[in-house]
């Protein structure tokens, strides 16, 4: 390793001794007077600090913010205040006992307020964001989180795509059904923020949300759940004029087609009605079908 000299001065090109050459062997009394001495406990102190930093990072990634707060306090007691421990002051909020056990709307409101203070700390911001999503998904259904904060749909979807990968290259079922159910409930999700190109392409289409749910089904992005016996027995309503209601009727027809055989009267009538409601989407369905949940 080269010796670093002060700028603007000429010095000879001398190699700096390696660190292990500075630490004398035991019993080398002559070397002790000239070498840098490693004080008792110094290596152990450094190791303890690194272990605490690693424990903080692991706790943040899994959403164990209470544990991360405890490790932060231990690091503070060990080495005193530092830039790192000051940056981790945000843990006083998310690491507080009971923060995550409050009503979901309150948790989401306070958690999302942390985004601005963490803007200058991208690594910590990402760790707290990913850990928070993990914590939320352990305690709440994904669709419940979207109902409380619709803007979180892209982030939750991306998270589920990473944590529940599909070995066949399809969109992971948990992520796919989350987007499907959000669209069926009328959430108007734009393409921005989604990582999967197939979802981006779908959500860029000029359709109402419920129609996007139908289009996603005929593109095989998500499965169609079968209709129950009661739904199959109910008489069909007249074709609606409202575009959203027509989309819901088309979705109901898709569910009928996966609930019985191709030649079953209910399936035949469902296909006829689909053609009246949306001829182009019906034609795609006839060519490619849908996946059954």
- Greater confidence, 7 or 244? 244
Euclidean distance between CA atoms 45 and 39, whole angstroms = 10
How far is residue 255's CA from residue 99's CA, in Å, rounded to a whole number? 41
pLDDT tier for residue 113 given thresholds of 50, 70 and 90: confident
Helix-, strand-, coil-residue percentages of the chain, each rounded to 5: 60, 0, 40
pLDDT at 82: 78
**Who has greater pLDDT, 221 or 50?**
221
- Quick one: residue 157, left, alpha or beta (phi over 0 = left, psi -120 to 50 = alpha)? alpha
CA distances, 143 to each of 162, 175, 180, 187 (Å): 17, 10, 10, 11
Residue found by looking up tokens 């289409």 in the block: 205
pLDDT band at 249 (very low <50, low <70, confident <90, very high): very high
pLDDT at 36: 55
Which of helix, strand or coil describes residue 169? coil
Say if residues 201 and 164 touch (Cβ distance below 8 Å): no
Contacts of 132 by beta carbon, 8 Å cutoff, 6+ apart: 63, 94, 111
Tokens of 93: 């909020």
State the pLDDT at residue 34.
Answer: 46
Residue 234 to residue 237: CA distance in whole angstroms: 9
Residue 183 has pLDDT above 90, yes or no: yes
Could you tell me which residue, 81 or 43, shows the higher pLDDT?
A: 81
pLDDT surpassing 80 at residue 85: no
Mean pLDDT of 100-129: 85
The CA-atom distances, in angstroms, between 267 and each of 246, 252, 260 are 18, 11, 7
Q: What is the dihedral of CA 240, 187, 275, 269, to 10 degrees?
A: -70
Residue 76 · residue 69 · CB < 8 Å: no
Give yes or no for residue 27 having a pLDDT over 80. no
3-state secondary structure of 2: strand
Is the pLDDT at 234 greater than 90? The verdict is no
Q: Which stretch of 70-74, 156-160, 214-218 has the lowest confidence by average pLDDT?
A: 70-74
Torsion of CA 160, 161, 164, 167, to 10 degrees: 170
Cβ count near 174 (within 10 Å): 17
From the list 155, 175, 156, the residue with the least C-alpha distance to 165 is: 175
Q: What is the pLDDT of residue 77?
A: 83
Based on DSSP, count helices (H) and strands (E) in the chain, helices before strands: 17, 0
Per-residue pLDDT averaged across 154-178, rounded?
Answer: 88
Give residues with Cβ within 8 angstroms of 284, minimum separation 6: 218
220 or 231, which is more confident?
A: 220
**Euclidean distance between CA atoms 257 and 223, whole angstroms:** 12
Can you give the pLDDT at residue 143? 96
pLDDT at position 237 is 76
- When pLDDT is cut at 50, 70 and 90, the band that residue 204 belongs to is very high
In this predicted model, which residue has the larger pLDDT, 3 or 236? Answer: 236
Distance (Å, whole) CA 123 – CA 92 = 18
The per-residue pLDDT for 195 is 93
* Cα–Cα distances in angstroms (integers) from residue 142 to residues 60, 182, 257, in the given order: 20, 10, 28
Confidence tier at 9 by pLDDT (50, 70, 90): very low
Does the pLDDT of residue 21 top 90, yes or no?
Answer: no
Average pLDDT over the chain, rounded to an integer? 82
Cα angle 163-52-45, degrees, rounded to a multiple of 5: 155
Mean pLDDT of 22-44: 48
44-70: average pLDDT: 80
The reported pLDDT for the residue numbered 95 is 84
pLDDT of residue 37: 55
């Amino acid at each position: 390793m080269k010796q670093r000299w002060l700028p603007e001065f000429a010095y000879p090109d001398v190699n700096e001794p390696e660190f292990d050459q500075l630490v004398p062997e035991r019993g080398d009394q002559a070397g002790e007077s000239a070498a840098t001495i490693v004080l008792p406990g110094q290596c152990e102190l450094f190791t303890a600090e690194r272990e605490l930093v690693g424990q903080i990072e692991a706790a943040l990634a899994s959403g164990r913010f209470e544990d991360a707060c405890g490790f932060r306090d231990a690091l503070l007691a060990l080495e005193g205040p530092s830039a790192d421990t000051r940056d981790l002051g945000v843990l006083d909020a998310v690491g507080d006992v009971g923060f995550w056990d409050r009503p979901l709307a309150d948790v989401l409101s306070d958690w999302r307020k942390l985004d601005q203070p963490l803007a200058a700390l991208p690594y910590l911001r990402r760790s707290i964001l990913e850990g928070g999503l993990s914590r939320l998904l352990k305690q709440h259904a994904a669709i419940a989180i979207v109902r409380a904060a619709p803007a979180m749909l892209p982030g939750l979807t991306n998270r589920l795509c990473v944590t529940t990968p599909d070995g066949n290259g399809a969109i992971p079922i948990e992520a796919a059904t989350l987007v499907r159910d959000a669209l069926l409930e009328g959430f108007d999700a734009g393409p921005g923020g989604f990582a999967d190109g197939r979802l981006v392409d779908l959500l860029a289409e000029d359709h109402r949300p419920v129609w996007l749910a139908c289009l996603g089904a005929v593109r095989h992005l998500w499965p169609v759940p079968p209709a129950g016996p009661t739904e199959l027995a109910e008489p069909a309503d007249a074709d609606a004029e409202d575009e959203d209601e027509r989309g819901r009727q088309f979705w109901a027809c898709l569910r009928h087609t996966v609930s019985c055989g191709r030649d079953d009267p209910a399936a035949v009538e469902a296909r006829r009605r689909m053609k009246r409601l949306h001829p182009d989407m019906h034609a795609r369905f006839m060519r490619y079908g849908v996946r059954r949940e």
